[in-house]
Amino acid sequence: MEFDLEKEQEKEFDQQIEQEQEQEQEQEQEKENDDGNDNEKESEVNQEQMQKEMRKRSLVAKEILETERSYVKNLQILVKEILVDLKKNSIFPKDFLPQIFSNVEQILGINTSLFSDVEKAVNNWGDNSELGGVFTSFIPYLKLYRKYIEDYYKSTNLLEQFSKKQRYIDWTFELQNKYQGFKLESFLILPVQRLPRYQLLLKELLKYTPPNHSDFEKLRKAEIEIANVNDFVNNAIKERENNQKILDIQNKFSKKINLVTPGRKYICQGPLMKISRKKTLKRHFILFSDLLLYATGNSNALSLHGKFELKNTRIQNVHDSGEVKNAFTISGPKKSFTVYASSQDEKRRWYYIIYKTISDCETSRDTLKIDQDGEPIKEAPVWIPDNYCKVCMLCDQFFGSFKRKHHCRNCGRVVCSDCSTTRMTLPHIGIQTKVRVCDRCQKQLKDEELEKIKKEEAKNVSRTGLMGLTSKLGRSIADKTQLF
């Protein structure tokens, strides 16, 4: 009985195991079914997402077509109606028209062709349709846009010359009535605005084009090329605006001055107080990428007082004292002085922007460049203001009615007449006439001159010795040659 019981228990146990295995198999089957359903659902979601992307891609393609249609239509108005009318009525001199309209007729031609190709592609649009190839074949003609944009800003200046002439005003009024308020300038700017629009539309089309799509790489290439042209356009616009700003500043000076030069950029301008020998003066400073000007007057009318070439200029902080706050020095080979700003923030702003601009000119903050002989370019001194000193800075004697104040033109110290008995030329800071120097500078300059003479003599001796050695060597070789 016990054996039968054990058998029954084993049988029950086996049945239990079989049931558990069956349950596990069922669970695994259910899991597989669930995974299959999930995969199906995921596939459905991906398919739906893909269809959604394709619909958006189709909408962008249609937008490209419609905007191109409108653009070409306006170019046709500009060339076939407005330009023809101007030629007929002689609003401008004949030689002005090519300058104003540049190569817009060529642009109309290539864009008419582009529109035709875009229209064919979009009218038969499907998931596998392409526009990248259409735009890549358009890329070689982008140089026409470059020329147009370069000429465009000249044309705006020409139109400005006629803007106040009654005949042009009347013609413009008729034009606006005919074309819903659009002026000639509104049509001329269209090619300038179209290129950035192409870039945005292609970027949007690329966004909804799968990476494995046959059009993806072509679209990307076209978008990059158009982006490069847009960079050129933006730089051209900035360059024009910069040159116009410099020209406006140039025209504000009472005496003729030439400031417009290739590569020069306007940075900023504003007032600073300049500490001079006897008093403090308000000056208007104008900073360019390679030049710092200071003048009297305001931003509307200016009189030039001086300039610093930034390649040979440095600035140095001046710590606040009882006499002066918010100050720094500006030093150059021919002129140096201290200036101060109206506030600490204003000082920081000026100091940082001048320092950065000098750094961009590859000039060290603490040193100046060397001259053609390899010697450091010396700076003009910063003059110590008269009211800062009550005694001579060399002999410590008090100034008074019989002991007057003088400035050493070489170092800027305030000294008495007994300590500045010599007059010398100072060519290293651009002074060719004899001027007062203190006794200390006189000795220093003489010592430097003697040292320079010694170095020159040493060079000459070395050069003469080398020439003599070469001559002897030449004679020796000649003598040996005669022996043979």
Same domain, 220 and 317: no
pLDDT (0 to 100) of residue 77: 95
Does residue 435 lie in a domain region?
Answer: yes
**Sequence letter at residue 161:** Q
Q: Under a CB-based contact definition with an 8 Å cutoff, are residues 358 and 315 in contact?
A: yes
Cα separation, 169 vs 375, whole angstroms = 63
CATH number for the domain spanning 439: value is 3.30.40.10
Query: Are residues 105 and 241 located together in one domain of the fold?
Result: yes
Conformation bin of residue 69: beta by default, left when phi > 0, alpha when psi is -120 to 50: alpha
User: Are residues 277 and 223 both part of a single domain?
Assistant: no
Between the two ends of the chain, the Cα-to-Cα distance in Å is 139
The dihedrals phi and psi of 370, each to the nearest 5 degrees, come to: -90, 160
List CB contacts of 35: < 8 A, sequence separation 6 or more: none
Q: For residue 318, is it within any domain? A: yes
| CATH number for 137 | 1.20.900.10
On whether both 75 and 103 belong to a single domain, the answer is yes
Based on the structure, what is the number of domains in the chain? 3
At residue 19's C-alpha, the angle toward residues 15 and 22, to 5°, is 135
Cα 291 to Cα 258: distance, rounded to the nearest angstrom? 12
Question: Is 276 found in the same domain as 215?
Answer: no
Cβ partners under 8 Å of residue 239, min gap 6: none
- 21 token code pair: 């295995």
Is beta strand 327-331 parallel, antiparallel or unpaired with respect to 280-288?
unpaired
Q: Tell me, yes or no, whether 232 and 124 share the same domain.
A: yes
Give domain status of residue 28, yes or no.
no
Domain end: 360, 376, 397, which one?
Answer: 360
Is 76 a member of any domain? Answer: yes
| CA–CA separation, 279 and 271 (whole Å) | 16
Cα(306)–Cα(311) distance, integer angstroms = 16
**Same domain for 397 and 305:** no
Query: 71 in a domain, yes or no?
Result: yes
Residue 421 Cα distances to 114, 156, 394, 441, 444, angstroms: 84, 63, 13, 11, 14
**Residues of the domain holding 188:** 47-247
Residue 77, domain member (yes or no): yes
Q: How many CB atoms lie within 10 A of CB 457?
A: 10
Alpha carbons within 13 angstroms on the beta-carbon side of residue 308 total: 29
Q: What is the DSSP secondary structure assignment for residue 386, as one 8-state letter?
A: G
CA distance 159 to 61: 37
Are 437 and 420 in contact by the 8 Å Cβ rule? The answer is: yes
Q: Nearest Cα to 407, choosing from 395, 419, 397, 425? A: 419
For β-strands 302-309 and 280-288, DSSP reports them as unpaired
Is the pTM higher than 0.85? The answer reads no
Answer yes or no: do 179 and 279 share one domain. no
Examine the domain organization and report whether 305 and 238 are in the same domain.
no
Q: Is 325 found in the same domain as 228?
A: no
Which among 220, 247, 274 is the end of a domain?
Answer: 247
Q: What is the dihedral of CA 425, 427, 428, 429, to 10 degrees?
A: 80
Does the residue 195 lie in any domain?
Answer: yes
Cα 274 from chain centroid (whole Å): 30
* SS3 at position 167: helix
Cα radius of gyration (the chain): 41
Of 328, 335, 319, 365, nearest to 349 by C-alpha is 328
The first and second tokens of residue 60, run together, are 């962008």
Q: Do residues 287 and 196 both lie within one domain?
A: no
310 and 398, same domain (yes or no): no
The enclosing domain of 339 has a CATH number of 2.30.29.30
Cα–Cα dist 320/208, whole Å: 61
Residue 356 located in a structural domain:
yes
The residue count of the chain comes to 484
Q: Rounded CA gap, 149 and 123, in Å?
A: 32
pLDDT in tens, the chain (484 residues): 444 444 454 555 456 656 656 666 666 666 665 555 555 555 665 777 888 888 999 999 999 999 999 999 999 999 999 999 998 888 888 888 999 999 999 999 999 999 999 999 999 998 899 999 999 999 888 888 888 988 887 888 888 888 888 888 999 999 999 998 999 999 999 999 999 999 999 999 999 999 999 999 999 999 998 898 888 878 877 888 898 899 899 989 988 888 888 789 999 999 999 988 778 899 999 999 999 999 998 767 899 999 999 988 888 888 888 778 999 999 888 888 999 999 999 999 999 999 889 888 764 344 444 455 555 556 677 777 776 677 888 888 888 888 888 888 888 888 898 899 889 888 877 788 889 999 988 888 888 888 888 888 777 776 666 556 555 555 554 454 443 3
Print the SS3 string covering 88-148: HHCCCCHHHHHHHHCCHHHHHHHHHHHHHHHHHHHHCCCCCCCCHHHHHCCHHHHHHHHHH
